[in-house]
Amino acid sequence: MGLTVSIAALLIVLLVVFRLAWSVAVTGPTDARLQSGLLALEDSHQAMLDTDASLRGYLATGDQFFADAATGAAPALAAADTQMVNLLEEPQLRQDVLALLLAQQRWRAEWADQARQLPPPGGAEAFLKQGTALFDDYRARKDATRADTLAAIESADRSAVVNQFVIGVLLALIGIATLVVALRGRYRLQRHVVAPVDGLLASVRGISEGRLAPPEPVQGSAELVALRDGLADMTVALRRQREEAAAQAERLQAQTDRLRTILIMTREIAGSLNTRYVIDSTVQAAVAVTDGRVLLWLLEEDGSGLELAYDSDRGAVAPLEEHCHLGVGVVGRSARYGQISRGDPDTGEDAAVAVPLVVGARVIGILECYDSPEGEVDGQRLSAVEMLATLSGSAIEASRLHAATERLSQFDPLTQLANRRRLGADLDSAVANAKRHGSPMSVIMLDLDHFKELNDRYGHQQGDVVLQEVASTIRTAMRDGETAYRYGGEEFAILVTRGGPEEAAQLAERLRSRVEADFRRGDKQLVTASFGVAGLPEHAGDGEALLSEADRALYSAKNSGRNRVHRAGELVG
């Protein structure tokens, strides 16, 4: 009986040793090679995605930053491809891997290597379509290779489970035979062999099904304890790998979401010339990328500092409410040197990063991003903010230039009053509103008396000064519902939307007196003004007729001796 027990124990040891040897010599290397190849496949694909995105960014913007990023991804791609070549040792994967590497090489040779040429061969649109087709072919090869690799891993796992099960069965049979032959060894055998092995097999099955819990401690031979410890170490390693893979997937998804946010924002502001809308969209996109508070500062017109334009916590900020000098603080440093700057809390600065909005070689603004509860704005989030700043800077500058151009088209550059073109649009709107509500409105036309003589005597430069001073006198006298315009030459117009001819005539008389007083130099009168007043509906039925009647009254005042106010149909003052 003792010999039988010894033989049974020897058989058990031999089976366990055989299984361990099989795992080390066959199963382990194959599994490691497949797992390593799968990770290399994913790393290679990520490097391909990074290279493709960078090259497309370079084709779209011409920014050397993207070309350098594509070049920087090349070592990672080469390393991943070198590791992936190990899959060629698996006969069932050899054809897939070769097809994948050929598709990848074709994409690089026929598209990626030529993408650094501007303009691309064949035109940008055709070249991008060619790149998409080649990348889609590569992606299909990659997906097929990945699927077959996963199938091979799953097959290897199933084989391992079957082998363990067979060994378990053999151990159980030997245990039963040993129990029949030697009842005295039953308890010891059950305790030190069968139960631990069953527990380890259960752990193996659990691992194969994705339950990565370490096996319970076993009592038995040193081999079983070592096997349990090995399973425990393997379980911990697999759990760590799964957590790292999940974290990596989460990071990739977060970066994808950030890039999608930037893409959506870019599409929204691409066709907009509204500066406020572009600024609001930029800040909201930056908040989505950083998960923290964002401020947008714009360079002042004289370039001496920056003013806060938008705060994600408060919305739009009134002009000149907050000011920052160049070179002072994290925002000022970033604006002066055109580089990313991070605040130093040890010196009293906020924990924020400032990213410049650069157009050409000029900084036009700063995105100040505060750290979120999740941590600092760095890594992929900072890269996304830099991309956002590059895209939004051009959009903000374009909208501001458009606004300046629009203002120049509607305002007189000498007097800073609205011009005749603006008067036409405002007059049509005021007439329509007056007719709709049945309310009175008026127009005042005024002309400077003997202005040609002033120009001839003192020169046109002095004449321009007088026009500017008259415009200032008129502007300071305006109230709600009253707007002044330079009509042309030395002639001005005033639109009164909240009063009839009587109120307009009173305003004209006040202005006449102020011009007369402001331009008296001792016993000399440099300039005076004559006024004509017409009202709706008393004197005209539309805007053009109203201007005509006011102009007629003006010339009546000039023909009556100048420096007076005439109302259409009668003399006033």
Higher pLDDT, 447 or 543: 447
Strand residues in 411-526 grouped as ranges (E): 441-449, 482-488, 491-496, 520-521, 524-525
Q: What is the pLDDT of residue 514?
A: 94
Q: What is the pLDDT of residue 220?
A: 67
Tell me the residue type at 355.
V
Name the residue type at position 367.
L
User: Which region among 18-22, 278-282, 288-292, 474-478 has the lowest average model confidence (pLDDT)?
Assistant: 18-22
H-helix segments, 62-123: 64-84, 91-110
The catalytically annotated residue of 397, 490, 503, 549 is: 490
Taking each helix axis from N to C terminus, what angle separates 420-437 and 379-410, rounded to the nearest 10 degrees? 90
Token pair 């082998």 is at which residue?
163
* Rounded Cα gap, residues 189 and 228, in angstroms: 18
First-residue to last-residue Cα distance in the chain: 141
Asked if 497 contacts 433 with a C-beta cutoff of 8 angstroms, the reply is yes
- 341-342 and 323-325 beta bridge pairing: unpaired
Whether residue 113 is predicted with pLDDT greater than 50 in this model: the reply is: yes
- Alpha-carbon gap, residue 569 to 22, rounded angstroms: 117
**Can 374 be counted among the known catalytic residues?**
no
The arithmetic mean of pLDDT across residues 163-169, rounded, is: 77
DSSP label at residue 184: G
Q: How far is CA 473 from the centre of its chain?
A: 48
Name the 3-class secondary structure at 134: helix
For residue 71, the number of C-alpha atoms closer than 13 Å in the C-beta half-sphere is 8
Residue 4 predicted with pLDDT over 80: no
What is the pLDDT at residue 503? 93
Structure tokens at 400: 């501001």
263: pLDDT confidence band, cut at 50, 70 and 90?
low
Residue 122 has pLDDT above 80, yes or no: no
- Give percent above pLDDT 70 in the chain: 86
- 3 state DSSP class of 55: helix
**Is residue 524's pLDDT more than 80?**
yes
Q: How far apart are CA 445 and CA 394, in angstroms?
A: 43
In this predicted structure, which of 304-318, 323-337, 385-399 has the lowest mean pLDDT?
Answer: 385-399
Question: Which of the residue ranges 98-102, 105-109, 156-160 would you say has the lowest mean pLDDT?
Answer: 156-160
- Average pLDDT rounded to a whole number, residues 520-547: 90
The mean per-residue pLDDT over the stretch 481-505 comes to: 93
φ, ψ at 522 (rounded to 5°)? 70, -120
Reported as half-sphere exposure (CB side, CA atoms, 13 A), residue 234 has a value of 19
pLDDT of residue 533: 96
Quick check: 555 pLDDT over 90? yes
What is the pLDDT, as a whole number, of residue 516? 92
Tell me which of 203 and 460 has the higher pLDDT.
460
Provide the pLDDT for residue 573.
46
Place of tokens 């080649």: 134
Please report the pLDDT score of residue 572 as a whole number.
Answer: 46
Which of 129-138, 230-239, 352-361, 516-525 is predicted least confidently?
A: 230-239
Alpha helices by DSSP H, 182-274: 186-189, 195-208, 222-270
Mean per-residue pLDDT over the chain, rounded? 82
Contacts 24+ apart (CB under 8 A), 263-271: 265/388, 265/391, 265/392, 266/391, 269/392, 269/395, 270/395
- 164 CB contacts (<8 Å, ≥6 apart)? 19, 201, 204, 205
Phi, psi of 182 (to 5 degrees): -135, 90
Instruction: Provide mean pLDDT across the span 410-434.
Output: 90
Is the pTM above the cut of 0.75?
Answer: no
Distance CA 354, CA 344 (A): 12
Q: Give the CA distances from residue 181 to residues 6, 13, 176, 475, in Å, rounded to whole numbers and listed in that order.
A: 12, 19, 9, 119
User: Rounded to whole angstroms, how far apart are CA atoms 40 and 37?
Assistant: 5
What are the CA-CA distances from residue 59 to residues 54, 118, 198, 284, 338 (Å)? 9, 7, 62, 27, 24
What would the pLDDT profile of 429-475 be if each residue is shown by its tens digit?
999 999 999 999 999 999 999 898 888 888 889 999 999 999 999 99
pLDDT at site 543: 87
Say how far residue 271 (Cα) sits from the centre of its chain: 16
Nearest-angstrom CA–CA distance, 554 and 532: 4
Q: Which residues pair with 448 in a beta bridge?
A: 529
Contacts of 325 (CB under 8 A, 6+ apart): 304, 305, 332
481 touches 499 (CB < 8 A):
yes
The Cα–Cα gap between 95 and 83 comes to 17
Q: Quick one: which of 145, 167, 148 has its CA closest to 156? A: 148
Report the range of poorest mean pLDDT among 270-279, 289-298, 450-459, 533-542: 270-279
CA distances, 38 to each of 31, 32, 75, 91 (Å): 10, 10, 18, 15
Pairing between strand 528-536 and 565-567? parallel
Of 60-64, 131-135, 269-273, 559-563, give the range with the top mean pLDDT.
559-563
Could you tell me the pLDDT band of residue 398, with boundaries at 50, 70 and 90? confident
The predicted pLDDT at position 20 comes to 55
157 and 208 Cβ atoms separated by less than 8 Å: yes
Residue 308 has pLDDT above 80, yes or no: yes
- Indicate if the pLDDT at residue 152 is higher than 90: no
- Confidence bin at 22 (pLDDT 50/70/90): low
